[in-house]
Amino acid sequence: MTKEVFTLFALLAVPVAGLASVCPPTTYDHVIAGGDCSIANKTFGSWSFSSSASGGAVLVQASSVAYKPLPTPSSPGVLYFFGLGAGIGQVQDETLGFTVTVPSGAAPITDIHLLVLGAAFSGTGSASIAESVCLGDLVANGCAAGKIVGLSTFDNSTLVMLSDSITFAPVTVVDVIKDLELTGGTYGTAVVSVMENQFSEGTIPESGTLAFVGIGVLCLGGLLRRRLGSGS
């Protein structure tokens, strides 16, 4: 009976195969160097970061951006912590990128949520995030086989909108490019300290892999019944 039990375990392991090591809390430079990692049942990777500053603003480095995984069941994601600010005549611009993929047999992604915490402005200051997302393909491929959607937040004298979300047909890969811009303008300031992204799940599909597992379990059950019936 030992052989059959090992066979069952092997079959049940198929849907979760391919998950990378767990993403640790760290700084963004270590995230980039570490490569792919998993949060809950999703793999996050292809990390990127770039930064620019003008008007005397301090250039932000990836090593000063703290990163924390959010292993929330059915809605895993990431938190970014940093003290970004722009004063009079200053501009800060940071771009962060990453890809989220769903392993075979896991629930697909059907929703993305963007949230900004600790944002503030004064006078002509403005803090904004423009997030471009390729659904079902990669930005590096021009999103040729996918669809590009956008999310955005604003905090200025014209508009305060600190969260955004979008729901879409199930996909197994999303490629995210997040652009954060802070401007002080002629007589203002702007700051942001925390950004959050979460990726919600739909229903687990009745995939060929799951069907294969079901067949394997039924075959094993029949084999065990025959062996028990024969007294072996």
Backbone dihedral angles phi then psi of residue 44, each to the nearest 5 degrees: -110, 135
Per cent of the chain over pLDDT 90 is 72
Whether the model clears a pTM of 0.85, i.e. scores above it, the answer is no
Report the pLDDT averaged over residues 215-232. 39
The pLDDT-based confidence of 166 (bands split at 50, 70, 90) is: very high
Q: Could you tell me which residues are beta bridge partners of residue 120?
A: 191
Q: How confident is the model at residue 19 (pLDDT cuts 50, 70, 90)?
A: low
Q: Is 84 left (phi over 0), alpha (psi -120 to 50) or beta?
A: beta
Closest CA to 31 of 65, 59, 60: 65
Question: Residue 211: which H helix or E strand, with range?
Answer: helix 208-230
Q: What is the pLDDT of residue 232?
A: 46
Which residue carries 């084999």 as its tokens? 223
- What mean pLDDT, rounded, does the chain reach? 83
pLDDT for 205: 40
The helix/strand/coil state of 142 is coil
Distance CA 77, CA 7 (A): 34
> Given a cut of 90, is residue 11 above it in pLDDT?
no
pLDDT digits (tens, 9 = 90+) for 32-53: 999 999 999 899 999 999 999 9
Spatial CB neighbours of 160, under 8 Å, sequence gap ≥ 6: 154
N residues, the chain: 232
